[in-house]
Amino acid sequence: MDDSNTKLTPLADLGEFGLIEKLTASIEIKSKSTIKGIGDDAAVIKPNKNLLTLLSKDLLLEGVHFDLMYTPLKHLGYKSAVVNFSDISAMNGRPTQLMVGIGIGAKFSVEAMEEIYDGIKKACEVYDVDLIGGDTTASASGLTISATVIGEVNTKNIVYRDGAKPNDLICVSGDLGAAYMGLLILEREKKAFEANPNLQPDLSQHDYLLQRQLKPEARTSIVETLQKNEILPTSMIDISDGLASDVMHLCKSSNTGCVISEEKIPIDQTAFDMAKEFNIVPTVAALNGGEDYELLFTIDQSNFDKIKEIEEISVIGYMTDVNEGERLITSDNTSVELKAQGWDALKRKVHENIK
Amino acid sequence: MDDSNTKLTPLADLGEFGLIEKLTASIEIKSKSTIKGIGDDAAVIKPNKNLLTLLSKDLLLEGVHFDLMYTPLKHLGYKSAVVNFSDISAMNGRPTQLMVGIGIGAKFSVEAMEEIYDGIKKACEVYDVDLIGGDTTASASGLTISATVIGEVNTKNIVYRDGAKPNDLICVSGDLGAAYMGLLILEREKKAFEANPNLQPDLSQHDYLLQRQLKPEARTSIVETLQKNEILPTSMIDISDGLASDVMHLCKSSNTGCVISEEKIPIDQTAFDMAKEFNIVPTVAALNGGEDYELLFTIDQSNFDKIKEIEEISVIGYMTDVNEGERLITSDNTSVELKAQGWDALKRKVHENIK
């Protein structure tokens, strides 16, 4: 990507097997449970005793989940791995292995595929995850990345979505809404570029917001922090659709209602300022933007003293009886019904409403 | 699909969560190792002691792996599951769980998605596999099906590609080339239909060939038969690319050469006749057609007496020292170099050569 004069290699020069060999040559196995990675009909893992195996998969499609006009391929590879790791964190587990399937159009070069793989391998390195297999195939249309993550969790530590009880505190890690602001900036610059291709956008002051959109991280460290502090959440989910939609998932699974306090929702200052610039109420972005990959979880009230000492975690409300419904206490102290307008790939509501 | 007057439901009427709920409502968990299936951030499995966990994934893309013009959606769902089960059989294991990600264009209806899911669920039922999760998302272009299978195998029974030794016998289950003949028939009928849409093709006499292409089966029964007869293959692979390409995978992994006897290659009579009709040498179709999903494996010569009693298995050659190369003994008793022209999704050689 640094030298645009480099000669690019057409994919057909290598063929499927050659390409896989090239892309996977440098992969080393690190996890003790990985018996066999790439190179056979299936990968082989040997879970330890007392551990449960966790599995999750995500499909990222060009034109739906990403726009190649402003998404660097390496970041795309990184993100496709990390959003899967995040699902394992949401079960209070640790990601251990990853399988990746990539469908690529003929317009891509071998070097482009290497960029994607470099991003995937980088994510695996950062999170100590073994890349154990996958599938690379031609695509008649857009770029498709399908990742399956394998993780593990001690039987006694697993956290589902359905364990919350009325009066449990609702907690969230990090801050919300920044990834969505990053997306809006990229969409704005894309339009400006389409109108005038000579315009060079200055994106340097938006580092944090763009990073949250293009290169998100999984909050594996929060899982570790909770374990270190001996806090076992009663329910947990990662925020991919948006806080409103995801807290409603917890309520539905746990058969509870909830009260979220608008003023407690953690929002980064730059996200706040950018929302104002876009004429969006910052908490609306935080509630509905999605793709934050923060952890949303509930804890028993007895853990309040422990949780309030952890800087990265905010208590934003509490669970209620299911009959009390899902409520938002606004900043002017009015109680309104919580509405989910989260990212729904089939309806794309948020996007269409705001754009 | 029986009543074309049925009113179809646009996908947007249900949204992602509604769709997943509808599609997965009837799924029951059967395997003891499945702790939690669909409905959380990750699925949870608990492998038994002394078992290894096997994982494999395949990506099926519209326009590359299937043509919706002649592929019934239910068969497509069935096939997308079965080709993954086949990978587990190729490790001498048993498929236990399946995860499926589907990317669908807006042109599809809820009913179309249900057809695909019905096929997937049918395959899971037939093979006693739990459907434990997945991801359903809009696609800006074609239909994408990404399946990940989980399987298990006793530690002492696992078979890799790399265990073959010189003089081991090369065996194959069932018969080869029929799936490719089925594909050629479908492509021919498509062309006839495009030329004259009023023409109704009569495909009834090609039942076996079409079934091999559109609704293949995984040879899980062969794995059971081998175990019942106490035969542990020294190496194994499933035939997805074609016999020539796949035996060369075994040779490369095991660092051996091989001799394949052309006249020993099992070919069904209808496939043989159809190859003649297409002016293709039947063994060329069997060597390079691919998608047979039969098992190709090697055994120690001491197992010959046992293997020759099993009707569904043919001994087609033997492994040699790596220096002797990969050879084919033709029907007129000439030794030629074995060439792989198997299905390579990035080059599509067979297809372009033969069509």
Q: What is the per-residue DSSP string for A319-337?
A: EEEGGG-EEEE-TTS-EEE
C-beta atoms of A41 and B62 within 8 A: no
Tell me which amino acid residue B129 is: V
If pLDDT is split at 50, 70 and 90, which confidence band does B239 have? very high
Angle between helices B15-24 and B110-126 (to 10 degrees): 40
Nearest residue on chain A to B107, alpha-carbon basis? A346
**Using one digit for the tens of pLDDT, what is the confidence trace for B170-228?**
999 999 999 999 999 999 988 888 888 877 767 778 999 999 999 999 999 999 999 99
In whole angstroms, give the CA distance from residue A132 to residue A98.
6
Residue of B9, B31, B53 for testing the chain A interface, max A β-carbons within 10 Å: B53
If pLDDT is split at 50, 70 and 90, which confidence band does B344 have? low
Residue A347: CB partners within 8 Å, gap ≥ 6? B12, B15, B16
If pLDDT is split at 50, 70 and 90, which confidence band does B342 have? low
Q: Is the pLDDT of residue B245 over 60?
A: yes
**Parallel, antiparallel or unpaired: strands B256-261 and B313-321:** antiparallel
**Parallel, antiparallel or unpaired: strands A130-138 and A43-45:** unpaired
If pLDDT is split at 50, 70 and 90, which confidence band does A22 have? confident
- CB contacts of A88 in chain B (<8 Å) are 41-42
**Using one digit for the tens of pLDDT, what is the confidence trace for B280-315?**
999 999 999 889 999 999 999 999 999 999 999 999
In whole angstroms, give the CA distance from residue A283 to residue B147.
37
Q: Within 13 Å and on the Cβ side, how many CA atoms surround B321?
A: 2
Q: Is the pLDDT of residue B351 over 50?
A: no
Element (H, E) at A224: helix A220-228
Average pLDDT, chain B: 87
If pLDDT is split at 50, 70 and 90, which confidence band does B112 have? confident
Tell me which amino acid residue B324 is: E
B11 closest CB neighbour out of A91, A160, A346 = A346
Better-scored residue on pLDDT, B63 or B167 = B167
* Least confident stretch, A220-224, A266-270, A318-322, B98-102: B98-102
CB of A35 within 8 Å of a chain B CB? The answer is yes
Q: What is the pTM of this model?
A: 0.87
- CB contacts of B44 in chain A (<8 Å) are 52-55, 91, 158
DSSP alpha helix (H) spans, chain B: 15-24, 73-89, 110-126, 178-195, 207-214, 220-228, 243-254, 269-277, 282-288, 304-307, 349-354
C-beta atoms of A61 and B138 within 8 A: yes
Better-scored residue on pLDDT, B25 or B148 = B148
Q: Is the pLDDT of residue A350 over 50?
A: no
CA distance A205 to chain B (A): 32
CA distance A268 to chain B (A): 26
CB of A103 within 8 Å of a chain B CB? The answer is yes
Q: Which DSSP letter does residue A19 get? A: H
Region of B333 on the Ramachandran plot (φ > 0 left; ψ -120 to 50 alpha; else beta): left
Q: Is the pLDDT of residue A4 over 80?
A: no
Q: Is the pLDDT of residue B332 over 60?
A: yes
**What's the Cα-to-Cα distance from B286 to each of A173, B180, B262, rounded to whole Å?**
57, 8, 10
CB atoms within 10 A of CB B278: 14
Percentage of residues in chain B having pLDDT higher than 70: 91
Q: Is the pLDDT of residue B324 over 70?
A: yes
Better-scored residue on pLDDT, B23 or A207 = A207
A140 closest CB neighbour out of B40, B64, B136 = B64
Mean pLDDT of A72-85: 94
Residue of B14, B52, B59 for testing the chain A interface, max A β-carbons within 10 Å: B59
Q: Is the pLDDT of residue B48 over 90?
A: no
| Residue-level pLDDT at A1 | 41
User: Which two tokens mark B137?
Assistant: 């998302």
If pLDDT is split at 50, 70 and 90, which confidence band does B63 have? confident
Q: Report the range out of A66-70, A198-202, A274-278 with the highest average pLDDT.
A: A274-278
Residue of A32, A59, A348 for testing the chain B interface, max B β-carbons within 10 Å: A59
Q: Which domains, from first to last, does chain A contain?
A: 11-157 (3.30.1330.10), 169-354 (3.90.650.10)
In whole angstroms, give the CA distance from residue A109 to residue B314.
42
Nearest residue on chain A to B100, alpha-carbon basis? A57
C-beta atoms of B347 and A102 within 8 A: no
Nearest residue on chain B to A163, alpha-carbon basis? B40
If pLDDT is split at 50, 70 and 90, which confidence band does A348 have? very low
CB of B347 within 8 Å of a chain A CB? The answer is yes
If pLDDT is split at 50, 70 and 90, which confidence band does A354 have? very low
Percentage of residues in chain A having pLDDT higher than 70: 92
Nearest residue on chain B to A152, alpha-carbon basis? B44
| Residue-level pLDDT at B134 | 72
Q: Is the pLDDT of residue A179 over 80?
A: yes
Mean pLDDT of A72-84: 94
Mean pLDDT of A129-146: 83
| Residue-level pLDDT at A195 | 85
User: Which two tokens mark A301?
Assistant: 């009230």
| Residue-level pLDDT at B355 | 33
| Residue-level pLDDT at A6 | 62
CA distance B161 to chain A (A): 6
User: In terms of C-beta density within 10 A (0-12 exposed, 13-18 middle, 19 or more buried), how is residue B238 classed?
Assistant: buried
In whole angstroms, give the CA distance from residue B342 to residue B355.
14
In whole angstroms, give the CA distance from residue B169 to residue B304.
8
Mean pLDDT of A222-245: 96
- CB contacts of B39 in chain A (<8 Å) are 161, 253
User: Which two tokens mark A177?
Assistant: 């809404």
If pLDDT is split at 50, 70 and 90, which confidence band does B6 have? low
In whole angstroms, give the CA distance from residue A316 to residue A243.
11
Specify whether the CB–CB gap between A23 and A122 falls below 8 A: no
